Every structure is written in structure tokens, then in C-alpha cells.
Amino acid sequence: MLRKTEEFLKGNYSINEKTFKIYRQAICDIEMTLKEYDEIREFNQLKVLRAFQEERISDSHFTNTTGYGLDDLGRDALDNVYAHIFKTEAGLVRPHFVSGTHAIGAAIAGNVRPGDKILCVSGLPYDTLLGVLGLSKKKNPGSLDEYGIKTDVVDLDSEGKFQFDEIQKALKNDKSIKLIHIQRSTGYASRKSFLVSQIAEVIECIRQVRKDVIIFVDNCYGEFIETEEPTEFGADLMAGSLMKNIGGGIAPGGGYIVGKQEYVDAAANRMTVPGVGGEYGATYGLMRSFYQGLFSAPHVAIEAVKTAIFTARVMEIAGFKVFPASTDKRTDIIQAIEFGDAKKLVNFCSGIQAGSPIDAFAVCEPWAMPGYDSEIVMAAGAFISGSTIELSADGPVREPYIAYMQGGLNFDHGKIGVLIGLSKVLEVQ
């Protein structure tokens, strides 16, 4: 960092000298690690490029359909590009998914029926999915539980790893289990996210005793962080959000589902209605941004990973517990920091907000956000509302007061936001 840059940050953001001292050590410590992720980015960029070329994408695919959206060439071709990238039979990429949870919910609900059971093998799912399954404290009309579709959970062990014996035992003893749910990212749990190799191991464990169950993976935050994806190791169905990695910070919303044709078709019937499925759905001029966002995604995702690694190292030096550690192998863009203090949590999020290009003047206050059982503090000064591939941070205001930071369209901005956040944390006695 130029001395001129440091003086600019001190003068405009009141970043203290202790924070800069931590920065200088951290950036030196992680130099080689960042280069390793550049090589992953290079491979994934080539993978996406080849998918575009194989599907013969042209500007004629930047469609602008309205009404029913029948025969939308751009929409249908994008489905094929996604299937190509994830090495699956089919894809379903739509602006009509309002969030990752919506896409995940459609994928699951479309493939289970009354009397079936869902088995979550990576512990309790992310907060917003609890309402879909019927596991939240507040009962939500229309949850799967109301339709006689129950959910069991196999907790992770004390080290945050899959309990293979317990998973196999559940599958052997309960033939009503129809779908396995695996959450790649940590969510609001105090654990590391799962590497693709770890997901491959649990898929193999499941197949040893049951070949008839549908294996579903929540892939949110994980796209393009490794060179392979869970669908390359036997996952039948997978879903995620275009407001995260794979939208590249350009797609203004939407979600995707990929997997075996019959399971994607069933999910499409849940997204719309049976008999309509994925054949309907206008795209309203969004296809250019969907294609461009996907093409940019390998680069943007690794910029977010660099920001996460940098955050881990500065927070380690500052004395905070982080997971993953700065030296851990990454499989998603999330960085968790345990503050152990509500004010430090709020101050960190406030710093991220203050370093944002949008709504930098806003004050972060905890609030009762729909879909969550605790008050949430959230920093999200993004060009796209709710986008978590853009630099953002949030966390439940409950012990042990963990902030979950993710995103960063470019590393230069990510560093600045994190330094402002750290400086504000160090102000708390």
C-alpha cells in the first residue's frame, strides 16, 4: 500500500496506526496463499469460457421476453451452459427465484411427497430453510411439515465433521427417507464449510447403503472456489443464488438448480406449477446480465476469497478467533469472526457499512429480520440489494457474537472495508 493511500485512509476514515501495523504483517503473511487462488481462478475461467463456446452463445441469446416467455432462446441456452459447467443433465436458471432459499426450497419440495422424509446430514440447516422444512420456532403456513413431510437431522461431531456411522444407521433403519440435504457452507453454525472432497466422502458413504435416495447439495457461496463441484462426485441435485458467487455481482437477482433431468423437471414444477414447469417464464431483458455475470463469476469469486483470507489473518493477529483460519483451504467465500461481545460485532459491521460505495452513511442497528429467530445486524452497502458477493457482513446478535463476512467485488475495496471495521472494533475497550 502506498504511503499516500495510508494517509488518505487515516484522513478520511480515521483508521488508527495499530490497524495499519496489523495490515502490513497480514498482507505479507498471505502473499503466497493468494497466488494459489489465482491459479484456481484461471482454471474456472477457462471452464466457463468453454461452456459458452460449446453452447454457441451469441448476442441473439440476450433476449427480452415478456408475458409467458415461451421459446425464450436465451433462457434455455443459459440452462444448458449451467448444466455444462456443473457436468449435469439439466439446469434451471431463473430470475423468478427470489433468493437462494427459494431455489433450494423448490428443489427439495419438488422432489418429496407426503410420507417422505428429509435427512439433513450436515447438522441443522441455515436459518431461513428451517421455515421451509417446518423446523423453526415460528410455524410457517405451507411448510413441508404441514404436508406430512418430516425432517430428521444428523448432527456433526464435536470437530464439525460428518458422522458417517450415524448417517448410515439412519438410512438403514428408516426407508421413508427420500432426500438427503447437505449444506456446503457454514451458515450461522460455528463450523468450517465442507470441502468438495468431504462432500464426495459423505456421498460415497450414503451410496454404500442406499442408492435410491436423492442427494441434494445447497451450494450457496461455494461456486468457483475449488476446481470441482459436488455434482461431479454424485450429487443428484444442487441449487444456489445468483446474488452470490455465480451472479458475478452483475446479475440483479435470481437462482439456479442443476442436476439430473427428472429432479430438475420436478423442481421446475414446484417453481411454477405442474404442466408448466420451466417452459414458461419471461426474462424481461435480464439475460445479458445473467450471461455477463456468469462469465465474470470465477474472477469475482476469487476476489471475495482473497478478502476473506485477508480478514482471517488481520483478525488472528488482532487476537480474535476465526474460522476458517487464514491457512485453511477454502471452499466458500464466508469468513466468520467470533467477537464474544455484542458491541464489537455491531462495530465491525458498522465499519463494513462505512466502507461501502452505497449507503455508507447508514447506521447498522440490530433488527428482527424476517426468517430469523434472533435479531440480526447486517452491513450491506451493495449495488444489488441483498447481494452477498458484494462486500457484506452480518450475524445474529446472540452469544458468542459471530460476524459472518462475505463478498468483495474486488480485493482492493474488500481490504478497505475490513480495515475500517477492524479499526472500529479496536476502539471498543
Q: What is the CATH number of the domain that holds 271?
A: 3.40.640.10
Same domain, residue pair 27 and 115: no
* CB neighbour list of residue 247: distance below 8 Å, 6 or more residues apart: 241, 254, 290, 293, 294, 297, 384, 387, 389
Same domain, residue pair 173 and 148: yes
- Region 209-220: what's the mean pLDDT? 98
Same domain, residue pair 290 and 308: no
User: pTM score, two decimals?
Assistant: 0.94
Same domain, residue pair 358 and 322: yes
273 located within any domain: yes
Q: Looking at 264, 294, 324, which one is the last position of a domain?
A: 294
Same domain, residue pair 146 and 217: yes
pLDDT score at 187: 78
378 lies in which domain range? 3-45+299-427
pLDDT band of 24, cuts 50, 70, 90? very high
pLDDT score at 286: 97
* CB neighbour list of residue 347: distance below 8 Å, 6 or more residues apart: 421, 424, 425, 427, 428
248 located within any domain: yes
377 located within any domain: yes
51 located within any domain: no
Same domain, residue pair 93 and 39: no
- Region 51-79: what's the mean pLDDT? 97
Q: Is 98 helix (H, G, I), strand (E, B) or coil?
A: coil
Position 251 pLDDT exceeds 90: yes
Same domain, residue pair 211 and 355: no
- Widest CA span in the chain: 66
Same domain, residue pair 275 and 327: no
Q: Looking at 278, 294, 310, which one is the last position of a domain?
A: 294
pLDDT in tens, 85-132: 999 999 999 999 999 999 999 999 999 999 999 999 999 999 889 999
Same domain, residue pair 171 and 102: yes
* CB neighbour list of residue 349: distance below 8 Å, 6 or more residues apart: 364, 377, 378, 379, 393, 394, 395, 403, 421
pLDDT band of 403, cuts 50, 70, 90? very high
Q: Is 395 helix (H, G, I), strand (E, B) or coil?
A: strand
Same domain, residue pair 250 and 340: no
Position 370 pLDDT exceeds 80: no
Distances (CA, A) of 134 to 6, 115, 139, 141, 354: 50, 14, 7, 9, 37
pLDDT score at 139: 84
Q: Is 319 helix (H, G, I), strand (E, B) or coil?
A: coil
Number of domains in the chain: 2
Position 189 pLDDT exceeds 90: no
Position 372 pLDDT exceeds 80: no
Position 165 pLDDT exceeds 80: yes
CA torsion through residues 404, 409, 411, 417, sign: negative
- Cα(193)–Cα(114) distance, integer angstroms: 31
CATH number of the domain that 324 lies in?
3.90.1150.60
Same domain, residue pair 93 and 36: no
184 located within any domain: yes
Position 402 pLDDT exceeds 70: yes
- Region 233-252: what's the mean pLDDT? 98
- Cα(361)–Cα(381) distance, integer angstroms: 9
pLDDT score at 190: 76
203 located within any domain: yes
Strands 392-396 and 214-218: unpaired
317 located within any domain: yes
Share of residues in the chain with pLDDT > 90 (%)? 92
pLDDT band of 1, cuts 50, 70, 90? confident
Same domain, residue pair 180 and 196: yes
pLDDT score at 297: 98
pLDDT score at 330: 97
As a whole number, the mean pLDDT across the chain is 95
Position 408 pLDDT exceeds 90: yes
Is 39 exposed, middle or buried, given 0-12, 13-18 or 19+ CB atoms closer than 10 A?
Answer: exposed
pLDDT score at 429: 59
pLDDT score at 218: 98
Which stretch of 101-115, 161-175, 271-285, 363-377 has the lowest confidence by average pLDDT?
A: 363-377
Is-cis flag, bond preceding 230, omega within 30? Answer: no
- Region 251-267: what's the mean pLDDT? 98
Q: Looking at 294, 323, 353, which one is the last position of a domain?
A: 294
50 located within any domain: no
